[in-house]
Amino acid sequence: MSASAVPSVLFVCVHNAGRSQMGAAFLTHLAGDRVHVRSAGSAPADAVNPAVVEAMAEVGIDISAQTPKVLTVEAVRSSDAVITMGCGDACPYFPGKRYLDWKLEDPAGQGVADVRPIRDEIERRIRGLLTELGIEAVA
């Protein structure tokens, strides 16, 4: 991570409609303003997956107003850590950045019951990331 007071983390998946939205929401929820959080997709969908919105609401996190965003080179360049979740070769690489590739099932086309285990695994990994960053979760 950079020497800046607030680390910056970018979550990337193909459609920015599921996994990356959950990752960004959990990190924002658990870290507050102690981490600058972004998410984006290499081929953004028109909307966030409704089953993902519902699964996150079940744990008290409202992402219903979020919209998929396109991945830009600048977003990667300005992030300390880039967490990819199935974007493959579409993710730009910059030396000196910390890259984590989280292999997670894609929630696209899944119902909320199938999204819950993906959500829970993302939360577990976010809590681990916070520990690595030396940031105590607020929730």
Residues belonging to the active site: 13, 87, 91
d(CA 52, CA 64): 9
Local structure of 48: helix, strand or coil: coil
Radius of gyration of the chain (CA): 14
**9 Cβ contact partners less than 8 Å away, ≥ 6 residues apart:** 27, 35, 36, 37, 38, 79, 80, 81, 82, 83, 129
